[in-house]
Amino acid sequence: MSLEAIYNVYKVYCITEGAWVNIAKIETEAAPNYCPNNPSHTINPDSIYIQEKLGEKQPVVIKTNANNTTTGLGNFSDYFKIHGYKLDITTLNGTQIFPISWKKNIYALGFMYQPTIDNIGDSIDVIIAPNTVIGVLSNSNNIGDTVININGVINYIKVGHELLLNGNIVGEVLGINGMAITIDKPLDTSYSQGTFVGFQIRLLQSNYIANANNVNINRNSLAVNAIPANTVCNIIYNNTSNSTKTFHFIIYYLY
């Protein structure tokens, strides 16, 4: 996978605003010595530092095919693993998030959840690479906007991914044109230039547990999700009852 650039996200303290501001610059460009909101603002020149480097690693899940070993993460061997998990659901009438990850690249073939009668009526979501920051807003955005311009590593973003501004999910990506991202609904709040832009991949959305039968997802498909080492996957369990319970699932993968 080619990157257009590696970006440094700088933090600059704007004295005029009395606040830290973010600005993304291509690595080969000079560090900013101005406020991105307004160059006439006074900044503290000793405050400037790099908070984050974007684009050095590959934070995305690559949809590929089991027969194609050129995933961008290098070739993988044909070892197969079935990894079982048990979640202790202790949040009542609410949502609980369980982050899981692997220390090596894995190639997920599918997974199965194994509900009992205790889980009926609840639902699960799975988010891969939650709120992975890929840049900052290059302009401010107003309420009602559906187009968002960023400075950052835009080629991680694909149509259908969820977009986050300052950690809030603002919609699903409908289109990408240069450094402009169109989302599926108008912003309901405004965001200033320099706001962190992130994305995430929702693999399961509102999967209702209707009965106590095992549910297999993607088991017989050739499709593989390549998940880079240390990428977080959030398993989100929505408990609609007043009781604690457990939830069991299995992930099948190649490594």
The three state secondary structure string of 65-124 is ECCCCCCCCCCCCCCEEEEEEEEEECCCCEEEEEEECCCCCEEEEEEEECCCHHHCCCEE
Residue 216 to residues 16, 20, 91, 112, Cα–Cα distance (Å): 56, 47, 25, 4
Shortest CB 47 distance to Zn ion, Å? 12
- Judge whether 134 and 54 are in contact, CB under 8 Å: yes
Residue 41 interacts with Zn ion (CB under 5 A): yes or no: yes
Gyration radius of the chain's alpha carbons: 21
125 touches Zn ion by CB under 5 A: no
What SS3 state is found at 16? coil
Piece in contact with Zn ion (CB under 5 A), picked from 39-47, 108-116, 133-141, 216-224: 39-47
16 versus 91: smaller Cβ distance to Zn ion? 16
Task: Return the number of the residue (15 or 50) whose C-beta is nearest Zn ion.
Answer: 15
Contacting residue, 5, 12, 23, 35, with Zn ion by CB under 5 A: 35
Partners of 180 in the β-ladder: 149, 177
CB of 139 to Zn ion, least distance (A): 14
The nearer residue to Zn ion, 137 or 209, going by C-beta atoms, is 137
Give the phi and the psi of residue 119 in degrees, each rounded to 5. Answer: -90, -10
Q: Is 14 in the site for Zn ion (CB under 5 A)?
A: yes
Residue 11 binds Zn ion, judged by CB under 5 A: no
Closer residue to Zn ion (CB): 11 or 41: 41
Q: Which of 17, 118, 145, 172 binds Zn ion (CB under 5 A)?
A: 17
Least CB distance from residue 141 to Zn ion, whole Å? 17
Residues that bind Zn ion (CB under 5 A): 14, 16-17, 35, 37, 41
